[in-house]
Amino acid sequence: MKPSISQFNDQQGYRFRVLLRILLASLGGFCIANLTVPVVGLMFPEQLALAVYAGLQLSFVVWLVFILVIFSIKSVFHGFCLTLGCIAGLGLLAVLLKPWGTL
């Protein structure tokens, strides 16, 4: 059986979407996981060392859950929007908590 051009393009599109999901899950998840550490650390300024350690442990769970979510969403565009929204939200939360954490 000779493959037609439309099947080859569908396969290429599928592979490209999987590649995008892998990049979103790994790079976006890494950014989100790294932003959870200062957010958790700044929430508890009295015990900063313990809070940073807890945030570091929590970041692995956040990264794992984010990878599962990215591969369960139907659209790559929605995954991209979710990634940007989480990064912006956690970044904003870290900036807003910084004055409170340094009191």
Residues of the chain with pLDDT > 70, as a percent, come to: 89
Q: What integer pLDDT is reported at residue 69 of this predicted model?
A: 95
More confident residue, 6 or 40: 40
What average pLDDT does the chain have? 88
Residue 51 Cα to chain centre, angstroms:
21
- Give the torsion through C-alpha atoms of 87, 76, 64, 60, to 10 deg: -20
* Contact yes or no for 53/37 (Cβ under 8 A): no
Q: What percent of the chain has pLDDT over 90?
A: 66
Q: State residue 66 phi and psi, 5-degree precision.
A: -65, -40
DSSP assignment of 25-43? IIIIHHHHHHHHHHHHHHH
Task: Convert the pLDDT of each residue in 41-86 to its tens digit.
Answer: 888 888 888 998 999 999 999 999 999 999 999 999 999 999 999 9
